[in-house]
Amino acid sequence: MPITATTAAGNMDLTRIAARLEQASAPEIVEWAIETFGRRISLTASMADTILIDIATKIDPDIEVVFLDTGFHFAETLQTLRRAQARYGLNVRVERPKPHANDLYAVGTDSCCAVRKVALLDRALADKAAWLTGLRRAESPSRANTPIVGLDSRGLVKVCPLATWSDEDADRYIVEHDIIVNPLQYEGYPSIGCWPCTDRVVDGADPRSGRWAGSGKTECGLHL
């Protein structure tokens, strides 16, 4: 069934747009998104690397970049954020949980992700029509069907310009554009979340298998 959405840009046939953008390059997809949504789009960044930031800021240097500071990030992730700010002069919006918000030790991982990740993204996107995210289909079997453009659970348009990129595409862009990479990526952490919930991954395993390892949980709720 076609997915349509009423957005700041009017009534959109997202299925048709996603099919058309399937063959487009990542910069073309970002350009479409920024032209369509203007200031009503944000880019969310996990600080695993700055590929999407590099692409998007070349098109709109002032695009809002959202970082969700859960209070449990690795020092390397916060250091990557600082390097990105220094290099790109980011218009960054850091969202933090309320003081003394419950954490995973008090309430478990689902409730912790709800107050330290999902609620922060809800707040950051409250006045937006769309968001950009760096999800790639090749990251994990659970992300294999990621559309270029879709509708999220809030009714916002979610745009994934890197969805079709292989690991090799990402590696090539990193080298060719001297992209900032979270050093943990080179230490066995291909997917980086909060330190209490992220383990090292052995070569050949699902790159996201180090997240909430052994619990059956695979996503924090940001991408459901």
Nearer to ligand SF4, 177 or 200 (CB): 200
193 binds ligand SF4 (CB under 6 A): yes
220 binds ligand SF4 (CB under 6 A): yes
Considering only 76-84, 113-121, 139-147, 176-184, which stretch makes contact with ligand SF4 by CB under 6 A? 113-121
Angle of the 14-21 helix axis to the 26-37 helix axis, nearest 10: 150
191 binds ligand SF4 (CB under 6 A): no
- Is 197 marked active-site? no
Q: Which two tokens stand for residue 157?
A: 């348009």
196 binds ligand SF4 (CB under 6 A): yes
Catalytic residue among 112, 113, 160, 220: 220
Closest contact distance (angstroms) between CB of 53 and ligand SF4 is: 21
- CA-to-CA distance for 130 and 158, rounded, in angstroms? 6
List residues bridging with 7 in a β-sheet: 10
Angle ∠(146,75,207) on CA atoms, nearest 5: 30
* Parallel, antiparallel or unpaired: strands 149-151 and 157-159: antiparallel
61 binds ligand SF4 (CB under 6 A): no
- CA-to-CA distance for 178 and 171, rounded, in angstroms? 10
List residues bridging with 6 in a β-sheet: 11
Q: Which residue in the set 34, 197, 201, 222 belongs to the binding site for ligand SF4 (CB under 6 A)?
A: 197
Q: Which residue in the set 14, 66, 84, 113 belongs to the binding site for ligand SF4 (CB under 6 A)?
A: 113
90 binds ligand SF4 (CB under 6 A): no
Does residue 33 sit in helix, strand or coil? helix
Q: Which residue in the set 65, 112, 160, 170 belongs to the binding site for ligand SF4 (CB under 6 A)?
A: 112
* Parallel, antiparallel or unpaired: strands 10-13 and 157-159: unpaired
109 binds ligand SF4 (CB under 6 A): yes
Does residue 28 sit in helix, strand or coil? helix
Q: Which residue in the set 34, 104, 129, 163 belongs to the binding site for ligand SF4 (CB under 6 A)?
A: 104
Segment 116 to 145, residues that bind ligand SF4, using CB under 6 A = 116-117
Query: DSSP secondary-structure letter at 211?
Result: B
Query: DSSP secondary-structure letter at 214?
Result: T
In whole angstroms, how large is the CA radius of gyration of the chain? 17
Q: Which residue is nearest to ligand SF4 (CB)?
A: 194
Residues found near ligand SF4 in the complex (CB under 6 A):
70, 72, 104, 109, 112-113, 116-117, 193-194, 196-197, 220
Catalytic positions, written as ranges: 220
